[in-house]
Amino acid sequence: MSVRLLLDENVDVALSGALRRRDADLIVWSVGDPGTPPRGTPDPELLRWCEEHDFVLVTNNRRTMPAHLIDHLRDGRHIPGIFQRSPEIGIGETSERLLLAAGASRPDEHREQMEYLPLL
């Protein structure tokens, strides 16, 4: 199975379009899409949803997400991974980095990790 991405509600929707245009086979959903958590879902619930559905979370939330991840793991839970998007990079570079990570990664490579984009 390849890496599947869930974009949180604060990630620009243009990113999902850019990803889909570049790789039609990539599974990329956004919070609020059918089958995903609704907009306004608290971060701890997003982490549980990602764990249960095997999605890597893409977020802009650098302020509180690290603490939520620590609590999630401390509770004995797991996460396929989190990509923290930098506000300094645009949609084009973000999509390139995510496509590279999705295409070159083993499905469990980002497990229990929070990684900051751009990946080096």
Q: Is the pLDDT of residue 4 over 60?
A: yes
For residue 58, the cross-strand partners are 7, 83
In this structure, are residues 37 and 51 in contact, taking their beta carbons and an 8 Å threshold? Answer: no
For the stretch 54-84, pLDDT in tens is: 999 999 998 999 999 999 999 999 999 999 9
The CATH number linked to 24 is: 3.40.50
> pTM for this one?
0.93
Range of the domain at 57: 5-117
Question: How much is the pLDDT for 108?
Answer: 82
C-alpha distances in Å from residue 21, one per residue of 46, 99, 101: 25, 11, 16
For the stretch 21-40, pLDDT in tens is: 999 999 999 999 999 999 99
How many Å apart are CA 104 and CA 67, to the nearest integer? Answer: 28
Domains contained in the chain, number: 1
**Whole-number percent of the chain with pLDDT over 90:** 75
